[in-house]
Amino acid sequence: MNPHLQKLQPYPFEKLFELKRGITPPTDKPHIALSIGEPKHPTPQFITESLIAHLHGLANYPATKGLPELRRAIADWLSRRFSLPAESVDPERHILPCNGTREALFSFAQCVIDASKRPLVLVPNPFYQIYEGAALLSGAEPYFLNATREAGYLPDFHSVPDEVWARCQLIYLCSPANPSGAVIGAETHRRLIELSDRYGFLIASDECYSELYLDESAPPPSLLQSAYAMGNTEFKRCIVFHSLSKRSNAPGLRSGFIAGDAEVMTLYQRYRTYHGCTLPLPVQHASMKAWQDEKHVAENRAEYRRKFSAVYQVLKDLLDVSLPSGGFYLWLNTQRDDCEFARNLYARQNVTVLPGSFLSRDARGVNPGQNHIRMALVAPLEECVEAAYRIREFIQ
């Protein structure tokens, strides 16, 4: 067996199951789950219809690189969304479809890490646990970048020593962040790209929440957008990951893409050819339709905005809570042990939230997830508001 498997920690939801074991919540209160970031809004009908209409494609093997029409739709979307010049993103060289960002974020590290050189993979802390697992199973050592309340819940890039940058082969970004919703700005992108030029590491920017933001006038920037603006028109060492799961409420479609540095993408495509990850043709056709439409995305954002506003009004005077810039999570400071808070909330109010310490690690004397909980506002508006009132009652 791969010895690195022993380094993997249980997934957060395994820990949550154990935390709740043996508890019988009140039966007069229906369960409300705010723990898992699984979108519950309906998948747009036109996506479903396109999938069904192309089911005959199941008779054919899809190519690793995907349909040219899909790559063109993705390139056009990137150009529109991130104000990139037409044809600056080449569908032939810069784009690969993938089975959702989870698969791609994990496999990317397996492809690009040279384990013979004591590599470090820099990871935000708290984080999506795939980053840590990808680093460990590639033979690298994770180096956690604490994202504390004092730093606006953004990773502390400024305190990273030169010797860490020198060993870094890959850095994972997540913007808007899971769990805090904090957004990495263009200025920080530029600084990281300059460090990448100096030290040679790759930047993997997980942007799967980029289309969920509260301020319509301030959409989160992309790493590719920042790279192009500073003259890095070939996106050297810059790779972004996007998905239809959150943007289009289609988590079961398992559809996303990777885009960026053409040289890296060529090698990654070779890896994926052996890896065996291809999108079925019906999924590719449905994905094309999704990337070509923005109306449903704006409606999706508006629904999350209503939920954030309603829940915030209920909790703002009892908890240290602020509205995030993006994503669909509320990252609450409980000012007490987060595991105890989550366990007792479930026991007394039948509401499930995720303890923040399940999403973070101790790093340099700090665990930035402690005394926080993550609430995924994916349930219907009425359930989210009911959960907020139950949390209020629990605290009082």
Among 119, 130, 114, 265, residue whose Cα is nearest residue 206: 130
Sign of CA dihedral 348, 349, 352, 358: negative
Cα radius of gyration (the chain): 21
CB atoms inside a 10 Å sphere around CB 197? 12
HSE, CB side, 13 Å, CA atoms: give it for residue 294: 9
Q: How many angstroms from the chain centroid is the CA of residue 62? A: 26
DSSP H or E run through 174: strand 168-174
Give the single-character DSSP code of 63: P
Q: What is the pLDDT of residue 319?
A: 86
- The low-confidence residues of the chain, meaning pLDDT below 50, are none
User: Are the beta carbons of 146 and 363 closer than 8 angstroms?
Assistant: yes
Per-residue confidence (pLDDT) for residue 165, from 0 to 100 = 98
**Which phi and psi (to 5°) does residue 331 adopt?**
-110, 100
Residue 129 has a CB neighbour count (10 Å cut-off) of 19
Q: What gap in Å lies between CA 104 and CA 327, rounded to an integer?
A: 20
pLDDT at 320: 82
CB 252 within 8 A of CB 48: no
The tokens describing 266, both together, are 């060529």
Q: How far apart are CA 30 and CA 35, in angstroms?
A: 15
Residue 276: its pLDDT value, please? Answer: 80
Give the separation between CA 360 and CA 362, rounded to whole angstroms: 7
* Strands of the 329-333 sheet, one edge to the other: 329-333, 372-376, 354-355
Question: Is omega for the bond preceding 251 within 30 degrees of 0, making it cis?
Answer: no
Instruction: Identify the three-state secondary structure at position 203.
Output: strand
pLDDT (tens digit per residue) in 130-189: 999 999 999 999 999 999 999 999 999 999 999 999 999 999 999 999 999 999 999 999
The alpha carbon dihedral of 186, 127, 196, 233 has a sign of negative
Give me the pLDDT at residue 321, please.
Answer: 85
Domains in the chain, please, with CATH? 3-42+296-395 (3.90.1150.10), 60-293 (3.40.640.10)
Instruction: Report the relative pairing of strands 372-376 and 329-333 from DSSP bridges.
Output: antiparallel
Q: Which residue has the tokens 């791609």?
A: 104
3-state SS, residue 99: coil
